[in-house]
Amino acid sequence: MYKKMIRNLEHISGCLFLIMIIMVLYQVFMRKIVNASPNWTEELARYAMIWSILIASPVLIATKEHIMLDYFLEKLPSNWKKVFVAFSSLLIFVLLGCFTVGGFGIMRTSMALTQTSPGMQIPMWITYIILPLSGIMMIIAQIVALLEIKEIDKNVKENDR
């Protein structure tokens, strides 16, 4: 189920990226050829890009393709590697928790203010809902990644016996 969720997120992110490209091309066509640029296309392209990135982030955590500086990690002894991975995972959880809680706060504030987007005239909480959702998905992906590391470590110890 988890792998299916990650695969679906990957497809959704790709579709949103495609929507962004189409909207930008449409806007350029309308501005240069028709000489009338609709203002909602730029806004939709911007939101599609943001959503695409935030939906792709849990995928990158799950596939271990997020940016990571592993040069120093490879130089550490194996015991220190475990300490470093544990510390960095704790730091990631704290940051993702702040991101998620902050996302809920931004969403609640925009709901209370009944703020709408200038171009598409949709409630801003709809555009902000991706913040807590992606935060929760990234936390889940990080937990699964940690459990996989623990399982690999357990298998290595069993094979050493």
Neighbouring residues of 154: CB distance < 8 A, sequence distance ≥ 6: none
CA atoms of 23 and 119, how far apart (whole Å): 13
Q: What is the mean pLDDT of the chain?
A: 89
- Encoding tokens for residue 150? 């623990």
Predicted confidence (pLDDT) at residue 48 exceeds the cutoff of 70: yes
Q: Where are the domains of the chain?
A: 2-156
Predicted confidence (pLDDT) at residue 15 exceeds the cutoff of 60: yes
pLDDT value of position 140: 94
Question: For 87-124, b where at least 16 C-beta lie within 10 A, e where not — what string?
Answer: eeeeebeeebeebbeebbebbeebeeeeeebeeeeeeb
Predicted confidence (pLDDT) at residue 158 exceeds the cutoff of 70: no
Name the one residue in this structure whose structure tokens are 């809920």: 104
Tens-place pLDDT, residues 27-42: 999 999 999 888 899 9
Predicted confidence (pLDDT) at residue 97 exceeds the cutoff of 90: yes
Phi (first) and psi of residue 12, to 5 degrees? -60, -45
pLDDT value of position 71: 79
CA atoms of 111 and 108, how far apart (whole Å): 5
pLDDT value of position 153: 61
pLDDT value of position 29: 94
